Amino acid sequence: MPKPRASVYQRYLPSVNPDPEYSGSAYWFITHSGKLLVTETSGQADIPQLESPDQLAAAPIRTLYLGLFAGTPCFAAEVPSDMPEPAGMAFHPLRTLYDVLDEDVFHLAGRALQLLAWDETHQFCGKCGTATVLSGAEHARVCPACGQVSYPRIAPAVITAILKDGQILLAHAPHFQNNMYGLIAGFVEPGETLEDCVQREISEEVGIKVKNITYFGSQQWPFPHSLMVGFLAEYESGEITVDGLELDHAAWFTPDNLPNIPPSVSIARKIIDWYVEQYS
């Protein structure tokens, strides 16, 4: 099993309230339309460090404090989509920045986009319709009328490598580009354990049964607010029968005969790379 990456919390201290005495520069995760503003210098990208978005003539629609990264305060801010790009900076879809930004910084950027999206969609109470207010004690919005508390939404999903006699099962979905094949994945339903979800998704999508389900690792996936939980499983019985809806083809592959597979941005690729290393 691969060695897990170091925790982001070795450098990041989350919080909801900035130090009122702090007056220096901070990291500003500035976003609009799911895109992140980054500085661009000699092919490198980073998060702008500013005392205030005013330095960029930016008027945020909403601002949230994230905490400290390497001792420096971090803020998330959503700006209007027509904000001009400052000199030396550009807005990029977060997905394209995975291999460009430091991994911990990418983690925080995903946190920023998810919190801003949650804040935008929870301005009013879903129970009584009253305007909500920020908690001040945690990332939550509270209804002052009925007391309803709304927390940021996380959608857990499982993704599984199915192994059989040194082969791995890979599947193609109609919406995959470039004839790409990936692993079996799906969202966890109410009342399920993660292992239950693995069994159900595999049965529904490729019609087989698996055994010896073991945890591989997880990855935050802010597109828009998923947590991908990776597993390995051994084939038990059945013949591959795709559902014809989510998948249109699935087959067994060997390490030296893989189809086009997902890019390194995803945990799917990390699992497949582990399989190739172990079974080559």
Q: What is the mean pLDDT of residues 171-197?
A: 96
Q: Are 116 and 76 in contact (CB under 8 A)?
A: yes
- Structural domains present in the chain: 8-121 (3.90.79.20), 123-152 (2.20.70), 155-279 (3.90.79.10)
pLDDT in tens, 130-146: 999 999 999 999 999 99
Does residue 150 carry a pLDDT above 90? Answer: yes
Please give the structure tokens belonging to residue 104: 């911990």
Res. 227 pLDDT band, cuts 50 70 90: very high
Number of helices (H) and strands (E) in the chain: give both, helices first: 3, 17
- What's the confidence (pLDDT) of residue 1? 62
Determine the straight-line distance between the first and last CA of the chain, rounded to whole angstroms: 15
Give strand pairing partners of 155. 226
- Name the residue with higher pLDDT: 22 or 163: 163
Taken in order 271, 274, 276, 278, is the CA torsion positive or negative?
negative
Please give the structure tokens belonging to residue 16: 């909801």
Instruction: Note the Cα 137 to chain centre separation in Å.
Output: 24
Instruction: Note the Cα 50 to chain centre separation in Å.
Output: 26
Task: Tell me the CB-side half-sphere exposure of residue 250, using CA atoms within 13 A.
Answer: 27
Q: Which of 17-21, 43-47, 184-188 has the lowest mean pLDDT?
A: 43-47
- What's the confidence (pLDDT) of residue 245? 86
Residue 79, Cβ density class (10 Å: 0-12 exposed, 13-18 middle, ≥19 buried): buried
Average model confidence (pLDDT) for the chain? 94
